[in-house]
């Protein structure tokens, strides 16, 4: 069941289907972004966060590597790539390509995602977003 859930998760992410991705979580499921310290809990909050991401990077895609399983936890290394569709506050990043490695750590329970930790480098994201900005 874990493989099906993980596969459906990345299909929803790569299909930009925020509702389907959020629906794979338990009703009170959560996501923590280690780089920002943000935590979203509940399917509505998870879908809203994904919709914002898809608006910021409308062509975003995840390429995943082989998962590593440890009991109810599954670690999946990924490469996220896409182009920014808007500036990020003072960062003038429209059109900037982003290619960012990361790791998702899934906590699975009862065929659903109970929790998800997302690890990526915020400084690297900002460096790439700024790469085309005038000096």
Q: How does residue 133 score in pLDDT terms, banded at 50, 70 and 90? A: low
Question: Residues 35-78: pLDDT tens digits?
Answer: 999 999 999 999 999 999 999 999 999 999 999 999 889 999 99
**CA 105/CA 132 separation, integer angstroms:** 32
Q: Average the pLDDT over 25-39 and give the result.
A: 96
**81, containing H or E segment:** strand 73-83
Fold of 2-130: Nuclear Transport Factor 2; Chain: A, (3.10.450)
Q: How does residue 90 score in pLDDT terms, banded at 50, 70 and 90? A: confident
Q: How does residue 88 score in pLDDT terms, banded at 50, 70 and 90? A: confident
pTM for the full predicted model: 0.91
| Residue-wise DSSP of 20-64 | HHHHTEEEEEEEEETTTTEEEESHHHHHHHHHHHHHHSTT-EEEE
Nearest to 73 by CA among 39, 28, 30, 115: 115
């Amino acid at each position: 069941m874990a493989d099906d859930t993980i596969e459906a998760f990345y299909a929803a992410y790569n299909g930009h289907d925020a509702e389907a991705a959020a629906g794979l979580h338990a009703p009170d499921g959560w996501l923590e972004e280690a780089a920002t310290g943000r935590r979203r809990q509940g399917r509505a909050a998870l879908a809203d966060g994904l919709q914002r991401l898809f608006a910021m990077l409308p062509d975003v895609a995840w390429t995943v590597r082989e998962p590593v399983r440890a009991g109810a936890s599954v670690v999946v290394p990924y490469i996220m790539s896409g182009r920014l569709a808007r500036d990020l506050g003072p960062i003038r990043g429209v059109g900037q390509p982003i290619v960012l490695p990361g790791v998702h750590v899934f906590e699975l329970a009862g065929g659903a995602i109970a929790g998800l930790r997302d690890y990526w480098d915020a400084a690297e994201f900002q460096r790439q977003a700024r790469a085309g900005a005038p000096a």
